[in-house]
Amino acid sequence: MHKLQVVLRFVAGVLAIASVVNAQAQAPTSGGSTPAQPAQVLFENVRIFDGTGAALSGPANVLVRGNRIERISTGPVPANDTAGATIIAGGGRTLIPGLIDAHWHATLARPTPAQVISADIGYSMIDAGLEATDTLMRGFTTVRDLGGPSFGLKRAIDENLIPGPRIFPSGAFITVTGGHGDFRQLFEVPRVDGMPLTRIEQLGGAVIADSPDEVTRRAREQLMLGASQIKLTAGGGVSSPHSPIDVISFTSAELEAAVRVASDRGTYVETHAFTPAAIQRAVRAGVKSIEHGNLMDEETAKLMAEKGAWLSIQPMPEGFENIFPPGSEQRAKALEVLAGTDRAYQLAKKYHLKTAFGTDILFSPELAKRQGSFLVELTKWYTPAEALHMATGENAELLALSGERSPYRGKLGVVQEGALADLLLVDGDPVKDIKLIEDPAKNFLIIMKDGRIYKNTVPK
């Protein structure tokens, strides 16, 4: 298939999303699938978890004007400041920042690997659009997309064609021949210079780069397309067919090329890596965020602490390996990774690593529905307040590494005056009972993103 045909189908698919989602919108709207932005919204009598890890506030009122939090007050807000405002009776419930998933794949959460490669791009984008709406309705108002053709989906969301979370896109993840993300069949090798791009490259899911010059080109291409950060796969992976966990993918020179490109554009590189060798090479090359890190050792944790690198690790729930067939190599690799997770979190706590929360849900619509349960899994190692902080204010600090390449202007992950109005009203206290997060349909009474109310089930 020629690349032009792929692009045209991609555009058609994104445009088709809006008409499908219109029929499935879960909140009152202003004639389309995205609700109008009220001039003002006043939350009365709420207790606030502000995203910094502090205890809940006493009863307070929060005034949102446009897409910003304008005022937080323990006393009544003057009537002349709230004329015409939409009033939300909090009833002592908890107001928290919108949740942030720091490792998400907006276009890869639902389909199988075979569907990613073979499905019509229009169908795939409609499916991704529906998943984006579901993601938002689970309370995740922002995601950092770490690989996949999400640029068109992000634009459709930002232009209010469909409901969905804010997306910090990486674009296609950059891999090497035989690396994590190289989904070619064996009959497609060897690849000769001048040959057409592979299917996964045509779709914008992954690109293959086997030298510093190729890495430089591919990284620049993703930034040109709108990437807010660059994703490389520095070591072996679970789902890829030709990528054992123990291998190291990129040379130091190749990693440094990507870091140089990102740094020159004011942003950063994050790399998929499980093992000490892959992690250490990436961190020494200047990579700012290690994705996964489940098999790290003490020496690696010390190095990450010394360099100030982030650990973006995922608390996989029991049964995660079941997305792969019994007896498959992928399932065996998944079990190997899961076995190291507890020690990795213990090392992260011991060395005070900057730690992000993400889910990395791939190829499983059923797991996607349980996105919030991943956050609950964090309480194996952290208090509920620490887990909520990680999924709000702490994740927002990681997003801020994109600097001027950030697609959104304003502070995320906190309930503070001047911050962007991404807010959830929880029917209960998630600091005391974090399992409330597992049932967003019941327990999230208000879902607000950018000052727009996407869900309002507060009892009248």
- Average pLDDT for the chain: 91
Say yes or no to pLDDT of 4 above 90.
no
Cβ contact 321:331 at 8 Å: yes
Domain spanning 99-381, CATH architecture = Alpha-Beta Barrel (3.20)
Count Cβ atoms below 10 Å from residue 344 Cβ, excluding itself.
24
What DSSP state is assigned to residue 390? I
- Which pLDDT value is given to residue 153? 98
- Which pLDDT value is given to residue 234? 97
Encode pLDDT of 5-22 as tens digits: 444 454 445 444 444 444
Task: Return all residues near 162 (Cβ < 8 A) that are at least 6 apart.
Answer: 17, 18, 21, 33, 34, 129, 132, 133, 156
DSSP 94-119: EEEEPEEEEEE-TTTSSS-HHHHHHS
- Give domain 40-98+412-456's CATH number out of 3.40.50.1470, 3.40.50.2300, 3.30.365.10, 2.30.40.10: 2.30.40.10
Domain ranges (residues) in the chain? 40-98+412-456, 99-381
Encode pLDDT of 122-169 as tens digits: 999 999 999 999 999 999 999 999 999 999 999 999 999 999 999 999
Rounded to whole angstroms, the Cα distance separating 306 from 300 reads: 10
Q: Cα 101 to the chain's mean position, in Å?
A: 4
Higher per-residue confidence, 258 vs 185: 258
- Which pLDDT value is given to residue 210? 96
- Which pLDDT value is given to residue 367? 92
Q: pTM above 0.85?
A: yes
Cβ contact 378:357 at 8 Å: yes
- Which pLDDT value is given to residue 112? 84
Average pLDDT in the 377-389 region? Answer: 97
Say yes or no to pLDDT of 457 above 80.
yes
- Which pLDDT value is given to residue 71? 97
Percent of the chain with pLDDT over 90: 75
